Structure 1
């Protein structure tokens, strides 16, 4: 035989031997419904265990009611396997959670409402197809009603602190109207008038006793699932070292009491650029900033 043929045979034998060894190894398996074995390819998918008890804003979730338990179970299944969203949420929480939690506390809003904001936006400055915007997904008229500026130059729904204060005012009004934080949270999705009509027509007093459209029916349970998963990430297999999270942005404040006609030029004069100015102040929507007489805006700029 030629040397080339010997080499070919040697390679062929080596490949056959490797295949034989691999076939002898035991792959992870599970029993199917007929008692047979299923090759899971190294992955085992497990359903998360439903908590034995849970509360929202200090109010117990009636998990003894079958449909309540199943609705929570559904959202827990979904959110415990939304790996990308969960990791992004955990990263962003390191940047924003301390500030938002403190603002809620100062305004007598239970800390659990931070998960409502996460359910709305995942701490992202997004705008919905319906026109709701910011961390708290406020509609333009609602935002204006709570004192926020919304126009072509400024949209304070994207101002984390001011939007959180506006959402807090709404939630306090809803709590006063409905008597519970659970109902207040549901009204954030349904609207106060919409929830009030549903409660009156169905002659009940609790969100958990209402028959609702799919979106509102699932809404509070999504919040509860986020509280459970993001509040106990390692229990659900999510491990995120602190250094991989998004840290608070170091910034200084500048009080602006007169109109800035050219924000890019202003940014350059402050030793930064327009992109950084917008990232630190996402409520700015234009290339100029008009300041009415007697008013002021506080801008965040990079620390020198």
Structure 2
């Protein structure tokens, strides 16, 4: 047993020495497989340990980049650095990016279709990723859902918020509201880059900064850090999603999450127990809540001349 312990100790010491040698000389060797070191055990047995090459990579930044077909001035040093920052932050937060790529398979087809139908550039799907990671999150300020819609905005655009229902969690309805906002902002600014920035700081906020600094271009504005980074987060998601292999993400089709096929049930009368209602329709309360997150309580009160569509998976 003692000899075995000595063998383990010697092996660990040899590995540490080998790693130190690699840090000093490994990169100069040009060996893509890493540094190989000969180790001898207490019993005289010899074997080779291969120290793998460091995995951190420096990425080549694209020469040209656009948002909604509007050019990004990467020739400006600060613009390039701000974009590069978001690339590295997101690429090397691998767990988050992998799950986002998997999750995107469930929700992007719906978002892309609505953007297309509403005449909003496809790149705005990356704004939704930036806002929420395609999850129904709640901000400290009270914004909710994929598009992080505030209560006042929901009211302005006729989204229902009640004890039983919060349509900010309704993917289709909230995406339509986001499109309406984006098109309203475009009518004021005339370019989609300013529109995207306004989603973070507000239409009035961007207009005020432009007037204060006598600049019309977003990239020439000096902004607080959150708004300064906002568009570049969107651009980073776009670049990584359009070139996943370049950044080390090699998901296959089977790795991507998919929505099930749904049946849609029109409901015109109040439901006292959604759990019982789900069972009555050959489903479960869990399935009902997962696929209809806009249902916020255990019941659903329906007023006269009102109806809802509830989606349940086809089993």
TM-score (normalised: structure 2)? 0.86
- In structure 2, the gaps of 5 or more residues are 30-34, 36-50
- Residue pairs, 1:80-99, within 5 angstroms: 80-99=91-110
**1:229–1:31 distance in 2 versus 1, CA, 3 Å:** farther
Among candidates 257, 264, 270, match of residue 253 of structure 1 = 264
Q: Verify: 1:69 aligned to 2:93, yes or no.
A: no
* Larger displacement relative to structure 2 (228-237 or 105-114): 228-237
Aligned counterpart, 2:255:
244
Measure how far apart 1:195 and its partner are: 0.9
Q: Is the 8 A contact 1:255 1:299 kept in 2?
A: yes
Do residues 159 (structure 1) and 177 (structure 2) align? no
CA distance in 2, matches of 1:141, 1:20: 63
Partner of 1:199: 210
> Are the structure 2 counterparts of residues 204 and 268 from structure 1 closer, same or farther at C-alpha, using a change threshold of 3 Å?
same
The corresponding residue for 1:117 is 128
Once the two structures are superposed, residues 123-156 of structure 1 have per-residue CA deviations (whole angstroms, 9 ceiling, x without a partner) of: 1111111111111111111012112111211011
Query: SS where residue 299 of structure 1 aligns?
Result: strand
Change (3 A) 1:31 1:144: farther
2:285 matched to which residue of 1? Answer: 274
Task: State whether residues 260 and 314 of structure 2, in contact with CA within 8 Å, keep that contact through their aligned partners in structure 1.
Answer: no
Tell me, what secondary structure is at the counterpart of 2:59? Answer: coil
Work out the CA distance in 1 between the residues paired with 2:23 and 2:15: 19
Q: Distance in 2 between matches of 1:16 and 1:277?
A: 57
Q: CA deviation at 1:13?
A: 8.6
Alignment-derived partner of residue 298 in structure 2: 287
Normalised by the length of structure 1, the TM-score is 0.89
**Runs of 4+, deviation exceeding 3 Å:** 11-32, 39-42
> Is 2:287 the counterpart of 1:297?
no
C-alpha distance in structure 1 between counterparts of 2:160 and 2:11, whole Å: 69
- Indicate the RMSD between aligned Cα atoms, in angstroms: 2.8
Does residue 186 in structure 1 map to residue 197 in structure 2?
Answer: yes
Equivalent position SS for 2:125? helix
Contact 1:89 1:230 (8 Å CA) reproduced:
no
The count of residues paired between Structure 1 and Structure 2 equals 295
